[in-house]
Amino acid sequence: MIRFSLACLAALMVISTGCDSKPTGVSTTGGSASGVSTTGGSTPETAKPTATKRIVLLNNTDSPFWDAARAGIQQAADDLKLAKAGFTASMDSNDGTEQGQIEKLRQYGTQRDIAAVIISPISSSNPAIADELEKLSKKGVIIGCFDSDLNEKNRSIRNFYVGTNNVVGGKVLGTAAKNLRAKGEYVQFVGVDSQQNAIERMDGFTSAMGEGYVQKDRRLDDADRSRARDNVRDVISKYPDLSMLVGIWSYNAPAIVDVVNEKKVRDRFTIVTFDAEQIAIQQMAEGMIDAMVVQNPFGMGYDSVKYAFAKITGDTATAKEMFPSMGQPGGDIRDTGLKVVVPAKDTPLKPEMFKDFGPSVEFVTLPQFQEWLTKYRLTSS
């Protein structure tokens, strides 16, 4: 799914507040043979070692959301010169099911070239997913999570998490929503409610709304875009006083807009969403989305590869720089930050409304966000 968990860059990935900042982890120096694998780990001709090792990022389901993460993986492979070191890095796409991830993990367990597995777990609490990750860890494979984490019970299995603070993300989206509409009823739309980022975003959103707002439903679509649109149609018909539509995963935004356009009811609804698929960016430009809270999948891909490679090769300086508080509570989490993206004009939202969230949350207009995407050759985030 597309979970998300936006962001600007400084030297190693700390989010800054300037719109000319880079995606986290981007090097300004050129790279050599990339070491990015699209075929499961084939060895580039420039790689001298005979036994190529693989760093694999396993997503939850295929989506345009992951395109920016793939770009981050590519950039990290270039900057770190993985091929020369005898490594590849690639993203493997799951089919959107828990069983799909379980089977992928079992396959990795039979492959001797797997050096690291970084997963966006489709279920934070599935015992079989946790068991397979633990088996890989016992074989010496570096285990990490990106985009979405394991639940607290299973968190000791992985070495690190790179991605959005999803509770904060939900609160940021809720802050935008309540500053757009003084009161009302809302529904949240998401793929599944077993994934940690979905749980945390929805709970964070609700906690930020406060009195005067009523959550009527949480609709699940199992990452089926047709079903996602059906869910929007159903709640519009079912709840006559509904006034706010909340998209939690990236494809929920275009699903909401498609149905609102179909029914010609834009004036009834405030629309706030997570992430920025290419089509959603265009929809905001057309006045169909009031606010987007955008994650930084580029940084998730880049920093996951960078840290895993540092751990594998014993680069303790880089590992310490990226996770300076490792070993302390919360020290195994690297926050890739968020952007609040608003239309170019006619929005009541202001930067000061989000100042309490600190420098990891950046406020930008849509044209500023588009400039940032163009600068780093991205079409979505």
Report domain extents, the chain: 53-164+296-336, 166-294+339-375
Report the sign of the C-alpha dihedral through residues 351, 199, 283, 238, in that order: negative
| Tens-place pLDDT, residues 274-325 | 999 999 999 999 999 999 999 999 999 999 999 999 999 999 999 999 999 9
Which pLDDT value is given to residue 82? 98
Contact 257, 250 (CB under 8 A): no
Instruction: Identify any residues that bridge with 260 across adjacent strands, giving them in sequence order.
Output: none
Q: Distance between CA 3 and CA 5 in Å, rounded? A: 5
| Side chain identity, residue 151 | N
Which pLDDT value is given to residue 51? 83
Which pLDDT value is given to residue 303? 98
Q: How many helices (H) and strands (E) does the chain have?
A: 12, 13
Sheet holding 333-335, edge to edge: 87-92, 53-58, 114-119, 142-146, 160-163, 333-335
Q: Distance between CA 194 and CA 125 in Å, rounded? A: 7
The CATH number fitting domain 53-164+296-336, selected from 3.40.50.2300, 3.30.70.60, 1.10.1510.10, 3.20.20.105: 3.40.50.2300
Q: What is the pTM of this model?
A: 0.84
Contact 208, 176 (CB under 8 A): no
The phi, psi pair for 88, rounded to 5°, reads -125, 160
| Side chain identity, residue 87 | F
Q: Which CATH architecture has domain 166-294+339-375?
A: 3-Layer(aba) Sandwich (3.40)
The residues, any chain, with a CB within 8 Å of residue 320's CB and separated by 6 or more, are 326
In which residue are the tokens 């720089």 written?
321
Residues of the chain with pLDDT under 70: 1-50
Closest CA to 269 of 293, 287, 248: 287
Count Cβ atoms within 10 A of the Cβ of residue 20 and give its class: 0-12 exposed, 13-18 middle, 19 or more buried.
exposed
Q: Residue 73 corresponds to which tokens in the numbers above?
A: 């993986």
Contact 208, 178 (CB under 8 A): yes
Overall size of the chain counted in residues: 381
Q: Do domains 53-164+296-336 and 166-294+339-375 have the same CATH topology?
A: yes
Which pLDDT value is given to residue 42? 37
> How does DSSP classify residue 150?
P
Which pLDDT value is given to residue 24? 57
